[in-house]
Amino acid sequence: MRKQERYDKIIEWFSKNVPVAETELHYKDPFQLLIAVILSAQCTDKRVNIITPPLFRDFPTPEALAATTPEVVYEYIKSVLYPNNKAKHLVGMAKKLLSEFNGIIPSDVDELQKLPGVGRKTANVIASVVFNKEAMAVDTHVFRVSNRIGLTDNSKTPLETEKTLVKHIPGHLLPIAHHWLILHGRYICTARKPKCLECGIREYCKYYSKKPE
């Protein structure tokens, strides 16, 4: 199967069978989502959703978060991976938002990456989810699934994967395609043992086509 044909078939299947695909992080405004995505690095959305309600309640604005200390934030987030670094990033992010962006979250991916704790993946998530921009965030699920099913050819880096996906997926579908691949990787095409018999795209999948009978 040619690569573009594989893309077309997979996109067609997801469009028909998963017309709604959204982040599983809980948030009520862009600031809350930015906090949640920073916390979600190498951590499950489920864990993040457990710890964020008290954090959102006590630090509802960039002003409130900037006025506290990493030590205080640490107590709210200590059950996530790398809580010390993330606490520093969150306070630093809030201060930078105020000093450089008047407390308003920028929509530009490059501008977003100026904020502490915001790498390219996080910036793309915010750009696509909040501002509906044609951006493709590549996390561990997207990276793994894209390589496994044959959307990419042994990509070595998330950026390489991102460029390939952006090249082959229609721009207006990039925001939802990001969630298609994440959710597929989280629940069907799992890391250790993919559930191929439950998979609706297995007939288009490079990995499945090479599996022994």
Q: How far is it, in rounded angstroms, from Cα 47 to Cα 80?
A: 7
Among 60, 65, 56, which residue's Cα sits nearest to residue 87? 65
Identify whether 46 is a catalytic site residue: no
Alpha helices, DSSP H, located in 131-173:
140-149, 158-168
Q: Is the dihedral of CA 152, 165, 179, 170 positive or negative?
A: negative
Of the residues 3, 133, 139, 156, which is catalytic? 139
Catalytic residue among 3, 9, 121, 195: 121
- 107 and 133 Cβ atoms separated by less than 8 Å: yes
User: What's the CA gap between 38 and 114, in Å, rounded?
Assistant: 13
Does residue 139 have an active-site annotation?
yes
**8 Å CB contact between 165 and 146:** yes
Residues 6 or more apart whose Cβ sits within 8 Å of residue 187: none
Helix (H) or strand (E) holding 70: helix 70-77
Q: Which residues are annotated as catalytic?
A: 121, 139
